[in-house]
Amino acid sequence: KVTVVGSINVDMVTTSEKMPKQGETILGEAFHTVPGGKGANQAVAAAKLGADVTMLGKVGEDAIGKEMIANLQKEKVCTDYVEPVTGISTGVATILLSGGDNRIIVTPGANLKVTPEYVRRHEKVLRESDIVLIQFEIPLETVEEVLRICEAHQVPVVINPAPAQKLKKVFWEKATWITPNETERDELFDGHTFSNKMIVTLGGEGVLLPGAETVIPGFSVTAVDTTGAGDTFNGALASSLAAGKPVTEAVSFANAAAAISVTEFGAQGGMPLKKAVMQLLEK
Ligand code: ADP
């Protein structure tokens, strides 16, 4: 059983021929909404790979929130404990796309209400997990509380430190695995690069195993959209660890799952089923 404590967002993407200037109104080409948020993405990745996944998080009491919950349910993620909160919107990323240029505003909204008190109320869910997966799109006090609860019940925790934030010592002490990409590691892990808890994703180059001595090379694939590669990696890693696999095997599995995810558009769109991952690994 995998429990993901994290963000639930919608990405609202408007594409246009050019970017509007300050005060300017222009016609767009297309608009679409895509489910997102690192928490929800990673939950979906793990569920698609066959894990029994429960999401802990919050949405606003709005139509988008209902839609995002329905999307998680469609992907077989348990949303029994996801709470709608009044007076604040569901997390939204407003994205303007024009040619290769983009402008993005992320409004965390209800994700900020994923409080230590909320996770304490759901201590039983955490306690009954084989692995807990968490990112930094919710308040850091909550991450710390999850670590404390999980330590008390000896439940292993994977921290995906994204977006990058300064890590307090307690995170290093209590986390089981920490999974930065290279940018996150370089920005924030100075002095801790020796940590044998750290699994560093290296984009197309693959993954650096804990201990920092061995690289598992990336699969050679045609990348069309790397959005969500890290999310697929983390969801897959958690699903494999929850199934009792040793960390090296879990990393290999996640490396293959993430490689497949970059061959299709969209964060959740490219996430593979277990069969496809096994086929790639057996090649
Ligand atoms: P993030 O998406 O968080 O920036 P990375 O870029 O490190 O993280 O990608 C995460 C993982 O996705 C990599 O470790 C690798 O397994 C896989 N991956 C990413 N880009 C590629 C690529 N071009 N080819 C093959 N695998 C990739």
CATH number at residue 86: 3.40.1190.20
Ligand 1 centre to CA of 33 (Å) is 24
Q: Which atom from ligand 1 is nearest to the alpha carbon of 207?
A: 14
Run of H or E residues at 60: strand 58-60
Assess if residue 24 is contained within a domain.
no
Ligand 1 centre to CA of 261 (Å) is 9
Phi and psi at residue 106, to the nearest 5°: -105, 120
* Residue 89 assigned to a binding site: no
Low-confidence ranges of the chain (pLDDT < 70): 189-194
Ligand 1 near 93 CB (within 6 A):
no
- Strand bridging mode 200-201 / 206-208: antiparallel
Do you know the residue count of the chain?
A: 283
* Residue 261 assigned to a binding site: yes
Assess if residue 217 is contained within a domain.
yes
Ligand 1 near 207 CB (within 6 A):
yes
Task: Give the catalytic positions in this structure.
Answer: 231
pLDDT for the residue numbered 39: 98
Assess if residue 22 is contained within a domain.
no
Supply the range of the domain harboring residue 254.
2-15+31-282
* pTM, full prediction: 0.96
Place of tokens 């209902």: 66
* Residue 234 assigned to a binding site: no
Q: Calculate ∠ Cα 8-12-13, nearest 5°.
A: 135
Assess if residue 26 is contained within a domain.
no
pLDDT for the residue numbered 148: 98
**Three-state DSSP class for 54?**
strand
Ligand 1 near 225 CB (within 6 A):
no
Place of tokens 């709470």: 83
CB distance 185 to 200 below 8 Å: yes
Q: Can you tell me the distance from the alpha carbon of 200 to that of 22, in angstroms, rounded to the nearest whole number?
A: 40
Q: How many CA atoms lie within 13 A of 195 on its CB side?
A: 23
Ligand 1 near 202 CB (within 6 A):
yes
Q: How many domains does the chain have?
A: 1
- Residues 82-133: tens digit of each pLDDT: 999 999 999 999 999 998 888 999 999 999 999 999 999 999 999 999 999 9
pLDDT for the residue numbered 189: 66
